[in-house]
Amino acid sequence: MTRRSIEIGMAVSAATFLISVPWLIPALTDNFWVSVITEILIWSLFAASANLLFGYVGLLSFGQALYFGFGMYGVALGIDHLGLSFWPAFGLGIVSAIAMALVSGVFAVRLSWHYFAIITVVFSLIFYFLAVSMKPLTGGDDGINFSLPPVFRFGGSIWSLTDPTFLAIRDNDLRASLIGLNVYVLRLIAFVMAGFLAGVSGALFAFFGRYASASYMFYQVSGEAVVWTIVGGAGTMFGPLVGTTLFIVIREIVSSHWEHHSLIVGLLAILAVIFAPKGIVGLWNGWMTRLGERDAASAPARLTLQAEP
């Protein structure tokens, strides 16, 4: 089999599995795993926001939890305080996250490397402490609980529920500026896009848990997304999904038997960084590249054999 056919087969299999989860998983095992897979997909989207900045633009952010929190609180406040229905509350969460990302990004993307990482932490901490102190509005660490509104309502029926330009900036921002790219504007666009992804994941997580809390705005949550991205494979499309899946599945399996499951997670992260510096998906891509090169090298020999009488 060629690399292309293997990748297509895996993508089709993964898509088929995800579509069939609501029916397949309950038939095979406990319904609990449907919730786990849902959580994996939501957190994978959050990890994708960190991957967009680190893997494609070369900006290491520890502040994505801020936009996750804004997406979460946009939903919770929209439903609990404003009485909004599902889609307007969802939109409010996303718009809130994008607006916050735009405001903070105007200042943050002027910096790079550890300066950028520090300012993202600072923004995250500022709004974390604000959310904690404004308890009458946000609920602080106790959070806001709300009832999930209908997703669709029809009459009496109710239903519930990679850009190469960025890579150039990541690899050498000075050279990118010399060839005419506006590094600041492109970084700001990427920053806002990442805020959008984090906001969507936060809004979805609020609907998933019917809950919003300031604790999800702490920079430790951002750090988890960075770890998931690096272990899964920074700069790859499926790296965040693979890394998030690995750590959440381990958490769910081990935590029921041992309270110090985070030690295993940390050990696996260290092993992945040592033996797979480009992440699990990067390691897989390396294997597939070598497979493609081997197929390309053997193709002339096969043609010669076929041409012989």
What are residue 57's phi and psi, to 5 degrees?
Answer: -120, -15
Give dist(CA 85, CA 77) in Å, integer. 11
Q: Is residue 5 part of a domain?
A: no
Q: Is residue 271 part of a domain?
A: yes
- Dihedral sign from CA coordinates of 98, 99, 104, 106: positive
What are residue 29's phi and psi, to 5 degrees?
Answer: -150, -160
**pLDDT of amino acid 158:** 60
CATH of the domain at 273: 1.10.3470
**pLDDT of amino acid 296:** 65
Domains held by the chain: number: 1
**pLDDT of amino acid 89:** 93
Q: Is residue 10 part of a domain?
A: no
**pLDDT of amino acid 3:** 62
Q: Is residue 17 part of a domain?
A: no
Q: Is residue 2 part of a domain?
A: no
Give dist(CA 98, CA 194) in Å, integer. 9
Residue from 191, 294, 297, 282 nearest 239 by CA: 282
**pLDDT of amino acid 78:** 93
**pLDDT of amino acid 165:** 63
Domain, as residue range, for 105: 28-307
**pLDDT of amino acid 152:** 66
**pLDDT of amino acid 201:** 92
Q: Is residue 72 part of a domain?
A: yes
**pLDDT of amino acid 91:** 93
Are 2 and 292 within 8 A, CB to CB? yes
Q: Is residue 1 part of a domain?
A: no
Residue stretches of the chain with pLDDT short of 50 = 161-162
Strand partners, 158: 153
Give dist(CA 282, CA 141) in Å, integer. 38
Instruction: List Cβ neighbours of 136 (8 Å cut-off, separation of 6 or more).
Output: none
Q: Is residue 88 part of a domain?
A: yes
Please report the DSSP string for 245-301 in residue order.
HHHHHHHHHHTTT-TTHHHHHHHHHHHHHHH-TTHHHHHHHHHHHHHHHHHHHHHHH
Q: How far separated are the first and last CA of the chain, in Å rounded?
A: 26
100: helix, strand or coil: helix
**pLDDT of amino acid 53:** 87
